[in-house]
Amino acid sequence: MKIVIVGGGKVSMAVLDQLSREGHDLVLVDNNPAALHRHAEEYDVMVVQGNGASMATLTEAKAGEADLLIAATSLDEINLLTCIFARKLGVAHTIARVRNPEYTEQLADLREELGLSLVINPEQAAAKEIFSVLQFPSFLARDTFSNGKVEIVELKIGEHSKLRDIPLMELYKIAAVKVLVCAVERQGEAFIPRGDFVLRKGDRIHVTSVATDLVRLVKDLNIETEKIESVMIVGGSRIAYYLSRSLMGAGVSVKIIEKDAKRCRELAELLPDASIILGDGSEQSLLLEEGIEEVDALVTLTDMDEENIFLSLYGSFIGIPKTVTKVSRMEYAGLLETMSIDSVISPRLLVATDVVRYVRSMSNAGIGGVLTLHELIEDKVEALEFLASSDTRYLNTPLMHMPLRKDMLVACILRRGRAIIPKGDDVIFAGDSVIVVTASENPISALNELFDE
């Protein structure tokens, strides 16, 4: 597939990295010649220097021949204009990065008129992810499928975990709910486990569960934590704004610490029910003065990864029940797992995943393309949702008899609104939604690619 990406920033590079690994024909457009040279050397990508919102530049990039154009510059207006011009040149599918909250709310009604296939908002996506994690503090991460009917949640096997040194085939006896461990991370290595896989202390496990069983799961595993009622946010970014709205809507008290006076005034107007504190959130004395020791959760959202990591470590050290850390550079992820940091959020990775899902859906439109896609374990594992059709192979065949490819696992089947955590004798019918977990090194774009023959 030929794809034009306009903008050479962090979000664009995350998207470029994902799409280049899947073998697409990519063109990168940006004004910065040094950045273009660097990216041309790192990726197998054609580069065009110029303004992406210029018809001349888009013509030079042969945008009219592209299957998809992604506009992800730092300016919303440029991105929207670029997509409008791309549609005039004949591009059928366009994706725009739009960050301004006012634009985001208006685009719900204007997307069709502007010809936008998808609008991506890294800050809003990150806020949604953080809010989801804070609803169940014992989970390190949560990913939803089929409009929230099924979830894959991440848990850590601790010193006194009831699952420690237990083979997965005995999981039901302990959890007393139907769940499936679909992926395990151990010392930086990812596993898609079978029934004889034995869990060890320090493992991070990804568990597929019907959403309504999550409360029972944490009770049966003795990992319940108190409901979060107060959150301190360090950094008054757009993520902080989106997150605060969701938290306060759920009855959670919010305190935001921001060192820029102008931004504090803006937040005070936008969020009149939140406590907005002007000050440097990296100063211990200020944090203590503002009651950091009494909050239920600390969310670090400054522009510096190192500061976010340090503050979260400090929060864990003083006993805050839940910490959430925003990072831009995912090379830190492996290191963070060895530290006392709960949940790590990467806005650009979330957006890149949304774009990859859309691209794979385009590649297989109407024949079992990807409905939902989530990256697990630092992009080493993917969880995907497909719709089985009459063209799907091995319908009505027990899973135990299906020739599944190596490192592939059917994690859940949804049938007429009912979620099935599958066993070997379960089958797939046309019309079922099927959640599949696979190693990222073997990406699939359609349900039939699940099979080995």
**In the chain, where does the domain assigned CATH 3.30.70.1450 lie?**
138-220, 352-450
Q: Is the pLDDT of residue 432 over 90?
A: yes
CA distance 442 to 56: 38
Among the residue ranges 74-83, 266-275, 282-291, 361-370, the one predicted with the least confidence is 361-370
Residue 250 CA to its chain's centroid (Å): 22
Percentage of residues of the chain with pLDDT beyond 90? 53
Structure tokens at 106: 């208006």
Mean pLDDT of 202-213: 88
Structural Rg of the chain based on CA atoms: 23
| Confidence category of residue 444, pLDDT binned at 50, 70, 90 | confident
Per-residue model confidence (pLDDT) at position 100: 84
For residues 204, 207, 211, 216, the Cα torsion angle rounded to the nearest 10 degrees is -80
Joined together, the tokens standing for residue 235 give 């950094």
What fold characterizes domain 352-450?
Alpha-Beta Plaits (3.30.70)
CATH dotted code for 2-120: 3.40.50.720
For β-strands 370-376 and 381-387, DSSP reports them as antiparallel
pLDDT tier at 284, thresholds 50, 70, 90: very high
Under DSSP, the state recorded for 213 is G
Classify domain 138-220 at the CATH superfamily level. Answer: Regulator of K+ conductance, C-terminal domain (3.30.70.1450)
Residues 6+ away with beta carbon under 8 Å from 247: 131, 134, 231, 254
Tell me the residue type at 390. Answer: S
Quick one: pLDDT band at residue 317, thresholds 50, 70, 90? very high
Q: Is 132 left (phi over 0), alpha (psi -120 to 50) or beta?
A: alpha
Would you tell me which CATH number, out of the four given (3.40.50.720, 3.40.50.300, 1.10.10.60, 3.40.309.10), belongs to the domain 230-320? 3.40.50.720
Statement: the pTM of the whole predicted model exceeds 0.85 = no
Mean pLDDT of 303-324: 93
pLDDT bucket at 414, cuts 50 / 70 / 90 = very high
- DSSP 8-state secondary structure symbol assigned to residue 197: P
Structure tokens that stand for 321 in this block: 């029940």
Q: And the tokens for 164?
A: 């420690």
pLDDT tier, 331 (very low <50, low <70, confident <90, very high otherwise): low
Residue 133 CA to residue 220 CA, distance in Å, equals 19
Distance CA 193, CA 98 (A): 39
What element of type H or E holds 312? Answer: helix 305-317
Residue-averaged pLDDT of the chain? 88
Q: Is the pLDDT confidence value at 326 over 60? A: yes
Rounded to the nearest angstrom, the gap between the alpha carbon of residue 90 and the centroid of all alpha carbons in its chain is: 31
Q: Distance (Å, rounded) from C-alpha 90 to C-alpha 97?
A: 20
Lowest mean pLDDT among 81-90, 286-295, 328-337: 328-337
The tens digit of pLDDT for each residue in 40-51 reads 888 878 999 999
Residue range(s) of every CATH 3.40.50.720 domain in the chain: 2-120, 230-320
Give residue 191's pLDDT: 93
SS3 408: strand
Paired tokens of 178: 């139907």
Q: Tens digit of pLDDT for each residue in 227-255?
A: 899 999 999 999 999 999 999 999 999 99
225 C-beta neighbours (distance < 10 Å), count: 13
pLDDT score, position 353: 86
High-pLDDT (> 70) share of the chain, %: 94
Q: Which residue has the higher pLDDT, 138 or 206?
A: 206
Closest CA to 89 of 61, 50, 108: 61
Matching residue, tokens 């757009």: 238
Cβ pair 93, 67 in contact under 8 A: yes
